[in-house]
Structure 1
Amino acid sequence: MAQEEYQEHGGGEGDGQKDKYLSFCLGDEAYGMEIRYVTEIIGLQPITEVPELPDYIKGIMNLRGKIIPVMDVRLRFRKPFREYNDRTCVIVIDIGDISIGLIVDSVSEVLDIPSQDIVPPPDLHRNGNRFIKGIGKTGKEVKLLLDCGKLIHEDELDSLEGIVHS
């Protein structure tokens, strides 16, 4: 998706973000995240590995002079690694005081999903569900809506902030 199209749909600005979700894919599965977390969408950049981070944190990258950690969402969800290609994107999000790059297979579009079209995820008592805030119904499809705040544990956030701010 072009940066202009993202900004036209309210990316990074004010009140027009209510009920707006950026949709992306991991394999055949469709996900969404609230647009208010998203600061930008970029192509894959060079990533510098940092020792002793969880496997799903691929390292850090320099984004216009700002150092941000980069997470492979596939690995975070315990899916098999997939080679990056020309459709692979990095979604830069802000969680609290830190920006994080999320590597996804592809970005689709910005969708309006009114709250009445979102249902809670099934309570399966499995760890994989902790990242899912709800299930959005869009036409005949469903999107698994992420809880961006739960992608990183508190202790991991502390260590990432230490790396970024050192």
Structure 2
Amino acid sequence: MVFRLDDQRYGLRLDRVRRSIRVVAVVPLPEAPAIVLGVIDLAGEVLAVIDLRQRFGHPHREIRLTDQLLIAWTGRRTVALLVDETLGVIDAAPESYTPVDDTVPGVGFIEGTLRCEDGLVLIHDLGRLLSLDEEAAVDHALEVLNP
């Protein structure tokens, strides 16, 4: 699944994405890490809303009605990822994907790159999106919300 923040395209493995929805009201979550904008209620499931703009180094801006939420699985929890726009699924040949070597410094949560006709798309590893400390802080904040 490819999405956009400002003019930059990013991607997630499709098997990690449940769906894309229009942005809804985000309720602030006390004691959550800065990367967590708050929570939403999605069909009775409370999900943390992750600020990908902050995580990927984009300038802060207020949530817009045109924004979208990607509902995705990190490997430990389902989260809502705030994005400017979802661009859809790219049907790419396997040879257009290049995994990133973990020994390369500074790759953080980049899993690989996808070569497209109009440039590269960075594919992110949702399993590394939140640090262990951030995961623990989200757990604690959600417990406070639902004792």
Fold similarity call, TM over 0.5:
yes
Q: What is the match of residue 38 of structure 1? A: 17
The one of 97, 105, 119 aligned to 1:125: 105
> How high is the TM-score relative to the length of structure 1?
0.77
Aligned to 1:14: none
Q: Within 5 Å, give how 1:9-158 maps onto structure 2.
A: 22-121=1-100, 125-126=105-106, 129-158=107-136
Matching residue of 1:13: none
Give how far 1:69 is off: 0.4
Structure holding more helix per residue? 1
TM-superposed deviation, 1:82: 2.4
- Counterpart CA distance in 2 for 1:114 and 1:157 is 34
Aligned residues: 143
Unaligned 5+ runs, structure 1: 1-21
Between 1 and 2, higher relative CO (CA 8 Å, sep ≥ 6) is seen in: 2
User: Unpaired runs of 5+ in structure 2?
Assistant: none
User: What is the one-letter code of the residue matched to 1:155?
Assistant: D
How much has 1:125 moved relative to structure 2?
A: 2.5
Identity percentage of aligned residues: 26
Report if aligned partners of 1:25, 1:104 keep a CA contact under 8 Å in 2: yes
Secondary structure of the residue aligned to 1:112 is: coil
> Contact (CA 8 Å) 2:20, 2:68: kept in 1 or not?
yes
Runs of 4+, deviation exceeding 3 Å: 120-124
AA aligned to 2:78 is S
